[in-house]
Amino acid sequence: MNVEFSFGVEDGTVDLNGRSVCIVDDDRLYRAHLAIMLGQAHLRTMEAGDSADLTAVLEKEMPDCILLDCVLEAENGFRLHEQLNLRFSRLAPVIMLSADESQRTAIKAFRMGFNDFLPKRNLRLEEVTGAIRKAIAKHDIDTARANEVSALRRNALFDDLTGMYCRAELDKKLELIGAGNRRSDKNFTILSIQLAEYRKICASFGLANGDDALRSFAGRIRANIRKDDFCGRVDEDTFHYVMDRNFSEASLRERMTRLTEQLTFQHHIKSVALNLAPLIAVAISAEHGNDMAEILDHLAAELVSLRDAKHGATVSEDWNFLPPSSHGDEDAGDERRVFPRMRTLKPAFIALEEWTSKINCTVRNTSDGGARLRLERPLALPEHFMLKITESGQLRRVRKCWHVNNEIGVEYADALV
């Protein structure tokens, strides 16, 4: 089952007839002018001259949109907007009106969370109604999405991060399938799909980046779920894809090949390119029996074997930082230098053997024995990795000697012999 957010609200389809707009301006005549203008578009208007009037209006009825002047008589529109967001959990979209037409003010308005910015001078009906329509459309979409997510959470059927069945609901469906197939000759197939690099991404780049990679991975699974199949998240990095039907060996092989192709992709975390690929274990009820517990145990064991086979021939799993040097950055590693150093500034990249992934860096100093590298930001790196200086350079195995923030000292493995 594929969960999709589809709300069908577009800018051009929003009907403004009967929608309400609150005009907040300390100039009574300008408020009246805007109210007459908006009335021509069949918009219902409310008026407020300051924060007290606006609060009274909002507590009585939340409008569909708010037009807020940047500078009220004794108040600042930016500050008032902040206060409104703190006071009202479901605040209507707010459009800033300003006599100051500078780009700086407009940029600040967008950064502060205003839905749009309109200059007060020569304001035309189509301009203000277009901004209102766009703001309401976006607010309607955001509200529908929030309601959808809240409904999913209340039902506790789906995992928030991936949009697929949560573990409890998946177990219920697997139990029903197992019981039903014991009473018939129909077989079912379960593919256990794992993003094996998830824990390493979390450890190296943080939980948020790990979840972002897992979300992309899960989205690719969802895009390939057939109508009669379903999928759920088993634990933090593993999914069970269930096909409750008889499959020929050729069809199953083709299905696994397609999933492997679709789930093999490059995921970017700023300057780092991670080449991700799935581990896929398979269990067929006809071969492994209809006992669901035994089938799931088989899948878990198969995933362990696949993971060991993938990482067994690679470098150590040690990803700890080396302790910081007692010297400053410029002197870090000087006490270990036995080769003459040349100052340089060349592009390079680090290749992690476990992921076949590339991390951009810059070579600051180099010698026959090693080099000093600067990353674009601090990252955890293993003790050994591959380094290539410039596109035409040689890919060489290096060992990390010291690591301070985003500065790393390495020595070439062949120079140690």
Write the pLDDT tens digit of every residue in 117-171.
999 888 899 999 999 999 999 998 888 887 777 666 556 678 878 888 888 888 8
Helices (H), 239-349: 249-262, 285-288, 292-311
Shared domain for 33 and 71, answered yes or no, is: yes
199 has a pLDDT exceeding 90: no
pTM check: above 0.95: no
Mind listing the pLDDT tens digit for each residue in 206-220? 788 888 999 999 999
| pLDDT (mean) for 107-114 | 88
Same-domain status, 86 and 203:
no
* pLDDT tens profile 81-97: 988 888 887 899 999 99
Q: How confident is the model at residue 379, as a pLDDT?
A: 77
Are 148 and 173 found together in one domain?
no
Given CA atoms 231, 234, 237, 242 in this order, what sign does their dihedral have? negative
Residues 26 and 115 in one domain: yes
The region, left, alpha or beta by phi > 0 then psi within -120 to 50, assigned to residue 270 is: left
Q: Are residues 57 and 139 in the same domain?
A: yes
From first CA to last CA, the distance across the chain in angstroms is 57
Least reliable range by pLDDT among 80-89, 265-274, 309-318: 309-318
Locate the DSSP E strands across 195-270: 230-235, 238-243, 265-269
Residue 4 has pLDDT above 70, yes or no: no
Helix and strand counts by DSSP (H, E) for the chain:
11, 17
Which CATH number covers residue 231? Answer: 3.30.70.270
pLDDT digits (tens, 9 = 90+) for 39-79: 999 999 999 999 899 999 999 999 999 999 998 888 889 98
C-alpha closest to that of 214 among 231, 230, 227, 196: 196
Residue 88 lies in a domain: yes
DSSP label at residue 124: -
β-pair partners for 361: 348, 375
Q: Tens of pLDDT along 347-370?
A: 888 887 555 567 888 887 777 778
> Does residue 171 share a domain with residue 132?
no
- Same structural domain for residues 185 and 242? yes
User: Are residues 186 and 52 part of one domain?
Assistant: no
Where residue 345 falls among pLDDT bands split at 50, 70, 90? confident
The whole domain housing 396 covers 329-415
- Single out the residue in 125, 153, 181 at which a domain terminates: 153
pLDDT of residue 30: 92
